[in-house]
């Protein structure tokens, strides 16, 4: 019989093994099937939330499961899937939690977590007072002969259901190739927001014409229609001059393109998704959108975000700063970041880049593979790190590809790798959101749990081993030095090449001057990614450095911006 647990892959709390989609991957093939380690993490998170909801609301476990399901939206069958899982596994969870078994014991008993022969027990919470072996045996006796134990935990996935097979293949292709799911004219731009739509690249203004898309040079000055989707078209009746010619000619329009990883895509799991005391139906309103954006929020990212900051930051993304500088740049952005991306696998999706060297405007390309070349979840992560030789080879391949696809006059900024030791330094002793209610889970415990399961986003930096953290930072510095040397020594015909350090310590100083603390710059749920505030401060620092040292990269300030706004308003929005 097919396990309903596989259907739960469409629901939020099993997708919270966030590292399934955000962790480094040498074999970066999208899949709807998580590893056993990720299934274990998902189970422990889910059972923890159920237990804590009962505690917060002084209710039964059964009521807390019903409460959790009631919070979920109907979209993507999230609510109905939740009720299905509760019906199948709820009785066993109730029995075990009622017997004071913690989430680790529950998930090992229900066989979502496993202890391999000769391996340590992977656990998030402190061990029970009795021995682990006796506690687990007692728990198994409680659910002995339970029908729930008959269901497979990993034998199939949701896409093996016949009625979902075709749609899954299309979604898999979208994820693999990083192109929009809905794109009628196949120009790599979409009128839909998610599934690589306009959250990721400028919204298409005519999805039935593949020659109309953001970033192209205007066709006949857009006298009759908007061919570049910047919202500026038609003829001024006062003098008969096309608006595009009047307002944009000579203004040096340019696009913003990011080649990055999950940090650049702004991977984010809202803490209220796992914090029982903050949880309500409002917490999950954005869940369907987030799931179909691979748990990323590129519309709020530091490179290509186009929405106002949810944190109240006055700083804006690189794209919005360029648009503010020249309104002719409206909608000309592409976020080609991908969870798990590194210098070694960028070749698998770089063809999703949309830039015609003859028809389109130049672009500013930010190359920001900031983590996955040194980050992996292996017990000994060092052998899996990218070597300087491998790094040099792949970066040069990428630059040669860009040289043949970018219009002349473009710019490529190589972003260095960070010193990620700040993660452990500022988080290890603090409580993780799952541990805040009862003060029983620190980030050190959380990191250790993920590393034990070999699903850590970055065991090298998220480790109590100081020597390992230092080795990881040394390799990151070596790779950054490769980028510096390339920027200094290599020349290309289509673009000039610049290098910028990823200076997170400078960002921390800025934040501390505002009264903040360094730990507030890290995503609280995964304990790894820079959050929205950090991304905007990084973007602000990058902008200031480029404006000071290479102002030609940003182009001119358009003196016609007020007139554009007066005639075209928000230019059709985003």
| SS3 state at 259 | strand
CA dihedral 422, 426, 429, 431 (to 10 degrees): -110
- DSSP code string of 406-443: SPTTEEEEEEPPP-THHHHHHHTTSBPGGGTTTT--BH
- Catalytic residue from among 190, 262, 301, 494: 262
Please check whether residue 333 is in contact with residue 202, taking contact to mean a CB–CB distance below 8 angstroms: yes
| SS3 state at 184 | coil
Cα 259 from chain centre = 13
Please check whether residue 9 is in contact with residue 81, taking contact to mean a CB–CB distance below 8 angstroms: no
**Other CB atoms within 10 A of residue 477 CB:** 14
> Which tokens in the block code for residue 536?
């905007």
Of 227, 233, 234, 195, the C-alpha closest to 210 is 227
Q: Which residues, 6+ apart, have CB-to-CB distance to 415 below 8 Å?
A: 366, 367, 368, 369, 370, 483, 500, 502, 542
The 3-state secondary structure of 544-560 reads HHHHHHCHHHHCCCCCC
Backbone angles phi, psi at 531, to 5 degrees: -85, -175
Residue 267 DSSP label: B
Please check whether residue 95 is in contact with residue 61, taking contact to mean a CB–CB distance below 8 angstroms: no
Count each helix (H run) and each strand (E run) in the chain, helices first.
19, 5
358, exposed or middle or buried, with CB in 10 Å at 0-12, 13-18, 19+?
exposed
Where do we find the tokens 């903050």? 278
**Other CB atoms within 10 A of residue 403 CB:** 18
> Which tokens in the block code for residue 430?
């603090």
Please check whether residue 504 is in contact with residue 415, taking contact to mean a CB–CB distance below 8 angstroms: no
b/e burial code for range 187-211 (CB count within 10 A of at least 16 → b): bbbbebbbbbbbbbbbbbbbbeeee
| SS3 state at 343 | coil
Cα(148)–Cα(4) distance, integer angstroms = 10
| SS3 state at 370 | coil
Cα(554)–Cα(214) distance, integer angstroms = 18
410 is catalytic: no
The 3-state secondary structure of 506-571 reads HHHHHHHHCCCCHHHHECCCCCCCECHHHHHHHHHHHHHHHHHHCHHHHCCCCCCHHHHHHHHCCC
Q: Annotated active-site positions, please?
A: 262
């Amino acid at each position: 019989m097919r396990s309903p647990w596989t259907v739960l892959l469409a629901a939020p709390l099993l997708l919270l093994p966030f590292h399934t989609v955000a962790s480094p991957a040498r074999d970066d093939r999208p899949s709807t099937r998580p590893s056993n380690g990720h299934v274990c993490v998902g189970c422990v998170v889910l059972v923890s939330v159920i237990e804590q909801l009962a505690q917060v609301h002084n209710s039964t476990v059964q009521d807390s499961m019903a409460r959790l399901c009631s919070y979920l939206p109907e979209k993507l069958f999230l609510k109905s899937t939740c009720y299905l899982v509760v019906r199948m596994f709820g009785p066993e969870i109730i029995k075990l939690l009622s017997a004071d078994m913690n989430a680790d014991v529950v998930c090992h008993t229900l066989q979502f977590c496993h202890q391999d022969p000769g391996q340590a027990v992977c656990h998030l919470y402190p061990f029970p007072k009795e021995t682990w072996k006796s506690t687990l045996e007692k728990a198994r006796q409680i659910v002995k002969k339970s029908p729930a134990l008959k269901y497979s935990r990993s034998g199939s996935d949701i896409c093996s259901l016949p009625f979902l097979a075709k749609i899954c293949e299309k979604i898999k292709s979208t994820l693999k190739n990083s192109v929009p799911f809905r794109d009628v004219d196949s120009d790599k731009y979409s009128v839909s927001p998610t599934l690589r739509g306009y959250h990721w690249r400028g919204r298409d203004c005519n999805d039935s014409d593949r020659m109309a898309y953001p970033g192209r040079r205007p066709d006949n000055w857009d006298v009759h229609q908007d061919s570049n989707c910047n919202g500026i078209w038609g003829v001024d009746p006062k003098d008969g001059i096309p608006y595009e010619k009047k307002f944009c000619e000579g203004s040096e329009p340019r696009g913003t393109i990011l080649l990055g990883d999950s940090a650049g895509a702004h991977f984010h799991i809202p803490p209220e998704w796992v914090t029982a005391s903050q949880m309500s139906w409002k917490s999950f309103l954005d869940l369907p959108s987030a799931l179909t954006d691979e748990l990323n929020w590129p519309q709020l990212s530091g490179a290509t975000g186009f929405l106002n900051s949810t944190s109240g930051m006055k700083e804006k993304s690189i794209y919005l700063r360029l648009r503010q500088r020249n309104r002719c740049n409206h909608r000309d952005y592409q976020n080609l970041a991908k969870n798990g991306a590194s210098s070694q696998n960028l070749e698998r999706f770089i063809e999703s880049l949309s830039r015609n060297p003859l028809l389109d405007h130049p672009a500013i390309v930010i190359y920001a593979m900031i983590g996955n070349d040194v980050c992996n979840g292996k017990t000994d992560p060092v052998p899996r790190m990218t070597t300087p030789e491998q790094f040099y080879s792949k970066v040069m391949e990428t630059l040669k590809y860009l040289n043949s696809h970018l219009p002349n006059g473009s710019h490529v900024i190589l972003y260095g790798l960070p010193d990620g030791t700040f993660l452990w330094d500022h988080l290890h002793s603090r409580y993780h959101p799952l541990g805040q209610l009862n003060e029983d889970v620190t980030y050190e415990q959380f990191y250790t749990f993920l590393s034990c399961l070999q699903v850590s986003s970055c065991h090298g930096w998220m480790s109590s081993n100081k020597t390992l953290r230092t080795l990881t930072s040394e390799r990151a510095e070596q790779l950054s030095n490769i980028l510096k040397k390339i920027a200094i020594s290599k020349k290309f015909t289509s673009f000039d090449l610049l290098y910028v350090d990823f200076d997170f310590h400078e960002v921390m100083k800025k934040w501390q001057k505002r009264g903040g603390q360094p730990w507030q710059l890290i995503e609280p749920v995964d304990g790894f990614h820079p959050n929205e505030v950090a991304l905007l401060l990084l973007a602000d620092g990058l902008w200031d450095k480029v404006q000071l040292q290479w102002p030609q990269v940003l182009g001119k300030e358009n003196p016609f911006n007020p007139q554009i706004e007066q005639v075209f308003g928000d230019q059709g929005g985003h």
